[in-house]
Amino acid sequence: MVSSTAHPRIALLLSELRPGGMERVVVHLAKGLAARNIPVLVICLQGEGLLASEFGGTAVRLTALNSYSGKDLGAVWRLRRELNRFKPSVIHLHDYASLPYALAANALAGRRPILFSAHGLLYEGFESLKSRYRFLSRFITAFSAVSDKVAARHRDYLAWPRPIQIIANGVPAVPRDADDRERVRSELGCEPGDFLFLAVGNPRPEKAFEDLIDAVALLPAGRKIRVVVAGTLNESDYCRMLKQRVEERQVGERFRFLGFRQDTAALYAAADAFVLSSRSEGLPMVILEAMMAGLPVVATRVGGIPDAVGEQALLVDAAQPAQLAAAMTRLITEPSLAETLGVAGKAYAEKNFGVERMVDAYIEWYRRVLRGEV
CA distance 259 to 305: 25
CA distance 50 to 268: 20
Q: For 242-297, what is each residue's pLDDT tens digit?
A: 999 999 999 999 999 999 998 999 999 999 999 999 999 988 999 999 999 999 99
Q: For 29-58, what is each residue's pLDDT tens digit?
A: 999 999 999 999 999 999 999 999 999 999
What is the model's pLDDT at position 374? 87
User: Is the pLDDT reported for residue 1 higher than 60?
Assistant: no
User: Is the pLDDT reported for residue 223 higher than 90?
Assistant: no
Q: Which CATH architecture is the domain 178-352 placed in?
A: 3-Layer(aba) Sandwich (3.40)
Average of per-residue pLDDT across 134-152:
96
DSSP code of residue 248: H
Query: Order of strands across the sheet with 40-44?
Result: 61-64, 40-44, 10-14, 90-93, 114-118, 142-145, 165-166
* Helix, strand, coil share of the chain (percent; to 5): 45, 15, 40
Closest to 209 in 3D by CA, of 197, 194, 199, 224 = 199
How many other CB atoms are there within 10 angstroms of residue 12's CB atom? 26
Structural domain boundaries in the chain:
10-170+354-370, 178-352
Between residues 2 and 339, the one the model is more confident about: 339
The answer to whether domain 10-170+354-370 and domain 178-352 are alike in fold is yes
CA distance 196 to 185: 9
User: Is the pLDDT reported for residue 2 higher than 50?
Assistant: no
Q: Kind and range of the H or E element at 185?
A: helix 178-187
DSSP code of residue 339: H
Q: Which CATH architecture is the domain 10-170+354-370 placed in?
A: 3-Layer(aba) Sandwich (3.40)
The residue type of 9 is R
